[in-house]
Amino acid sequence: MPIYRYDAINAQGKKVNGLLNAYNRRAANERLEELTLTDISLKDKTDSLELKLTTFFQPVKTRDLVVFSRQFSVMISANLALVQSLRIAAEQTTNVSLKMNISEIAYEVEGGSTLSAAMIKRPKIFTAFYTNVVKSGETSGRLDEVLNYLADEMEKDYDMTSKIKGAMIYPAFVLVGLVAVGILMMVVVVPQLTSILKETGGTLPLSTRIVMAISSFMIAYWWLLVILLIVTAILIRVFLNTEAGKRVFDLIKLKLPVFGNLFQLIYIVRFTRSMNTLIVGGVTISKSLEVVAGVVGNTVYKDLIDKSRRSVEEGGSLAKVFLASDTVPKMVPQMIVVGEKTGKLDLVFRKVTDFYAREIQNILANLVALLEPSIMVVMGVAVGVMVAAIIMPMYNLAGQI
């Protein structure tokens, strides 16, 4: 569908501009006139480099979908027509890529398509999880409630992910800084200091000779190190894109000291929160498990969820497979058993989600508190090695003069 950039004057006499999807220039003009805009100027930007660069550097983020879902829900609750709600939501959306896709969805819905069917055509923006919840809302006639609940749960997941990333910024920044300073010392500072020690002609300590050898190697073969780093990064990326690579990496993450437990709880919360959202939306248990298996983000848990789905389809218990796994806290399957017996699985999943979300927050707080002194110790050891290898010989040399 063509995309137009418009410049116009609004009812308040101010200049406005933006992007608009329309079948043709006439339809675009009619749409803008409905918005009480005058002195309209239209330019076709469908295949322009400007639009391609904008959409490339402005991907649709979770936050954008949360805002869209909430605004859309409010308009549906106010009994606005579906197409009108989509068009208003598109106008209020600041993300260009999402704006264009919502506008296209509005035209498809106006042409007779269902909302979920139009969204399914855009899997890069609307995941299977999202479209299944929307489809259940359409079927049950509770689209506004389902969208609002979906926005709430997506926002909680977004907040949790943001806190985890925020907690990792400080140690990552310090680690990068240490590596950069270490390389600078080895390439620039150490050669200048060791040249003085070499002139003495005396026997240097082992630690000094090791540091000098590393420094000389880095200066002489820096190009080889760069090639090795690039090749290693490519090989790791290729390996991680294979099924075996993903499985090995996901298993390693769960077995890591300190971080392994954190990763485990993150996947558990993602599973329980997604299941709760889908069940509340009216999606069947079997279909919910199929969808969640694709969004949980870990092949170990994906296999568990797939096995559980097969167990449910064969008439078995949802908790059976989880009870036999050592990667799932025992509380989870035990709570699922209670939910199955009482018929309140959605409530059980919500309670489990709330409990482990708090656990994640506590682990993150403790982890940050633990990382700060650990980083100081690493920095102290690095400084100590440098002092022992370079500064002490220089000090001894000065004492002999």
Note the pLDDT of residue 45: 66
Note the pLDDT of residue 234: 94
Note the pLDDT of residue 99: 84
386 or 108, higher pLDDT: 108
Note the pLDDT of residue 231: 95
Ranges 194-208, 274-288, 314-328, 358-372: which has the least confidence = 194-208
Give the rounded percent of residues in the chain with a pLDDT score beyond 70: 89
The answer to whether residue 70 scores a pLDDT higher than 90 is no
Output the pTM of the full model. 0.74
10 or 216, higher pLDDT: 216
pLDDT (tens digit, 9 = 90+) per residue, 321-376? Answer: 888 888 888 888 899 888 888 888 889 999 999 999 899 888 888 887 777 787 78
* Mean pLDDT value of segment 278-287: 86
Note the pLDDT of residue 348: 92
Looking up tokens 């290898």, which residue turns up? Answer: 389
Ranges 65-74, 112-121, 163-172: which has the least confidence = 163-172
Give the rounded percent of residues in the chain with a pLDDT score beyond 90: 7
Note the pLDDT of residue 46: 62
